[in-house]
A and B are shown apart, each in its own frame.
Chain A
């Protein structure tokens, strides 16, 4: 477990430039993560006015973190496609994480096959599909959240690329052309006023009976619960999966990263780590159902 790598996944939420800079500067200085993903995954409208990238990249690289640039997951119009082209143009200097086939096609191609990463929004459910992406130059593959441990085990056995699993944070469950944040504020996507920036961890969705259900993040729908695979780490490593993704939230991610790192280094037990994580993430509901072949929201042994 000591060889395992911790990555900070791409920020899914619409934070402002200052908040983003402060966040990543502290990650650079203090967080025991090996890789940090940057880039807009959810909505290309959010790219307007964002100017943090060069400084943040520099600070992270100076601190010895590997920067990985993640792309949009749903690419429909020219603005989306331009963001993809811009991203692919950086492939000589950075590992690019593709979240859509159009991005893959730019990185993988005749005489190219630039080494790249595949994100969890690309559907890799079986060995044959895994091999297809590996053959095209994918060196690091982040797997879909709904895979059970049996599937993960079979994939790990077949893999030559490094495999990654998300172990912390709300799970991305769906993406749409429709903006649910705008809709919740009775606006349309075109006139959205960027209302998604009001909810730094997503907008909670409850049932009519007040049950915590999902979370809205612009075009994206997330789980309400936060995935936590702290207890499952030894089994994952045993299978051969040793890259782990923490999805960033508006909490002390340095402390969160430290807990997972300490667990991986064998400094603390899973019980202790989970206890301290629960203290840090006051009132947050955790889940680990997918791994155990159950509904994603289930809590097995937590």
Chain B
């Protein structure tokens, strides 16, 4: 049985090396602009850095996947076309796309370039996935985090291409690639700008002994002195509805599939994706090492559960939508 491929975040050239050394089978990154969905200061790669990263990874048997997974702007698609062209020229192992216009361009201009369908395309059923396969020849789909394990198994029975699923880290409770919460409040969105709840709009305000975390003047959360303050990602705050306050959308928690790894394998999943291009090298090293162990153990038929509380938001983890009860 082929082992699951471990796909790891390379937020920076240094993180790429850490991930590869820790046992990644593949690393993914973006260029330093709006063409990818982690367009934050201090992250990402120049063309030269990508070339160097490719050398490093390939010399150690790891693949390089380039994310150009935001939506090209009307009247200004140049940066996205350039990103696709550069990725093809450097011969990345695959490019991760969501925008249909870009998929069409990549297929025609670079027929040999392997195309992966980003989670941002929100291809949540076999019919949609097969449409992308027929139209653009995508070879792998990153499944949106809205599907249960049984639903994933069914999808794999109805498609011929590989599936990749998120396995650890921050999760969107909303269907990816279809969320305008951030742009409603800050004017910047994942689809158009590659950001969500950007730091430029964040402020921390002391209120007595409490700490308030704000996004563009909206109170996202309040923390008393003994509570660990989290980053004010818009959907992860505490709000009130019907007179009751709480984490209406999602609690601080991290996705962690180590407890359901055998089930994901049985469901036909080909690759596990670790979220975390904004994370530290130490985080990446520890998470990748742990997943390397868990995947290798699964290859021997063992279930190795790794809680990783110290690496999890809120010190807790969830299997998210993989379990129907989460919905």
Contacts and interface: CB of A to CB of B under 8 A. Distances in A.
A123 B177 contact: yes
Nearest to B324: A190
Interface stretch (B17-25, B242-250, B292-300): B242-250
Contacts of B219: 207-209, 211
A174 B239 contact: no
B245 A105 contact: no
Residue among B105, B122, B184, B219 having the largest count of chain A Cβ atoms under 10 Å: B184
Given A128-B102, A129-B101, A184-B242, A216 B248 contact: yes
Chain A interface mostly: mixed
A242 interface: no
A208 B185 contact: no
A177 B148 CA distance: 10
A154 interface: yes
B124 A75 contact: yes
A74 B173 CA distance: 14
Nearest to B145: A177
B241 A101 contact: no
Interface string A144-166: 11110011111100100000000
A100 interface: yes
Classify chain B: how many residues form its interface, as a range: 35 or more
A207 B101 CA distance: 38
A126 B72 contact: yes
Interface of B: 71-75, 77, 98-102, 104-105, 121-125, 127-128, 130-132, 145-147, 151, 173-175, 177-181, 183-187, 189, 191-192, 212, 216, 218-222, 235, 237-242, 244-245, 248-249, 321, 324-327
Given A75-B128, A214-B181, 4 more contacts: A123-B71, A127-B75, A128-B105, A295-B216
5 contacts: A123-B178, A129-B101, A178-B327, A185-B242, A203-B241
Interface of A: 73-77, 80-81, 84, 100-102, 104-106, 121, 123, 125-133, 144-147, 150-155, 158, 171, 173-180, 183-185, 188-190, 203-209, 211, 213-214, 216, 221, 223, 289-290, 293-298
